[in-house]
Structure 1
């Protein structure tokens, strides 16, 4: 292996080339945009997906890109991919847990298996990758784990309980993780995107519908919100996050997100304050 291809003793900053990314769910949407942005500036990328044919059109210099098959719900697949990435590039600097699964439906409509499917990818898949890379990051004494959750990781939405439950869980795990690994020079950042044009909606699973919930579905459809944003913009924002000397624990990607979350949390605080006399 060329020594120049190995990771430095500490992460390079300010856009300096030479860092190695490990990206899950890189075949489309945000994952694809993240991988392309890192490659364009000269970083090395391990792009993973269940179907590698979706990555065959990536045109980059030899040695800069490694594509690997990865099913995040298969622990053996995860550990094999991480081991191959470390063997090829000598270490990892930025790990992006982007692979996700959408499940839509009312609580009464969703089966237990639907909830488990959402948890298997969005929580346990990200957890499997995180646990697999941590020994390498600790040994290096640096690294940055990026957890892609959602605005649904901060608020509960009707018809999305399985999805938001998995994202809320990943948020909690990631906040605990950040406190555990800070002493090893490892950063954790939770990215909470608003609506982006990722093709995610067309890839979600839906439960068998009960007519009783159709009015709620129609009401939700009438509040679709602004048009989805460009994943390329999220990729540029992510580059700024990973280049920061002190990366944030949480950051919302997309316009209007902070205002919406502020309103939600203000309502929660009001609920707690109004209920205080009960105690």
Structure 2
């Protein structure tokens, strides 16, 4: 049976790749983008199997309208893929208030609004799968991506909580946590802070640490995402790419060791 999938940020990158993979195998997709023209190729190729929806996820009312439109058109929503977002590059000190708020508005609040809109639909169905496109930077951090890291940590905290709240309604929640991939996330879609030269050495070390092998091939993720969608018992945390796992494993090992080192002090602070 064909699945009905709502994908935000389907104009390019992961969103476009996954939408095509789903449509190619016979699923139906409600695809959102800021500009409908960016979805014209999907409509031309897949016709009525695609519902193009213009959406700025920063507009909460529009998020609810988009979810309702998709539900009315297809009759239900089996899977939500919350993919809309962008990267902000720069040191925390360099970041303006407007840049910080914009990063959180799209990456966190936009995801929250679409999630809030879809939960009642899936709850009424007593089934559904909410897939939040986070990052392995929601589990660990890298320099010069402070606000992006923070937005993804927020997404992870929200989604872990959501999973416990909606499980009894038959709704699964998964966090897709990719390492770096060669999408335009770090290119045309990215925003940069105004540089302060004191951070130049840190930025250079960060840039020099990347090799061509660091960046995964976006097209290679499609099969993994289809497998995630088809799983009867999908994971809450789903790493994508070969860099993410060893990176997260090392950070968590170091974190546990630090907790252990300070354990006695921490316990004494309880006061009993």
TM-score between both structures, scaled by the size of structure 2: 0.94
Q: 2:217 aligns with which of 230, 243, 252?
A: 230
Question: Partner of 2:269 in structure 1?
Answer: none
Q: Any gaps of 5 or more consecutive residues in structure 2?
A: 267-272
User: Deviation at 1:231?
Assistant: 1.8
Residue correspondences, number: 263
Give the secondary-structure state (helix, strand or coil) at the position aligned to 1:187: strand
State the SS of the aligned residue for 2:184.
coil
1:234 is paired with a residue of what secondary structure?
A: helix
RMSD: 1.2
Q: Distance in 2 between matches of 1:160 and 1:224?
A: 14
The structure richer in helix per residue is 2
Superposed, which structure 2 residues align to 1:136-175 within 5 Å? 136-175=121-160
Please say if residues 214 and 243 of structure 2, whose CA atoms lie closer than 8 Å, have aligned partners that are also in contact.
Answer: no
TM-score, normalization by structure 1: 0.91
Tell me, yes or no, if structure 1 residue 25 matches structure 2 residue 9: yes
Of 260-269 and 50-59, the range deviating more from structure 2? 50-59
Q: Matches of residues 69-84 of structure 1 in structure 2 within 5 Å?
A: 69-84=54-69
- Tell me how far apart the structure 1 counterparts of residues 79 and 220 of structure 2 sit (CA, whole Å): 19
1:112 CA drift (Å): 2.0
Q: Is the 8 A contact 1:39 1:60 kept in 2?
A: no
For 1:92 and 1:276, how far apart are their aligned partners in 2? 46
CA distance in 1, matches of 2:179, 2:204: 21
Extract unaligned runs of 5+ from structure 1. Answer: 1-16
Counterpart-to-counterpart distance in 2, 1:63 and 1:159: 43
Contact map agreement 1:153 1:192 (CA 8 A) in 2: yes
Determine helix, strand or coil for the equivalent of 2:91: coil
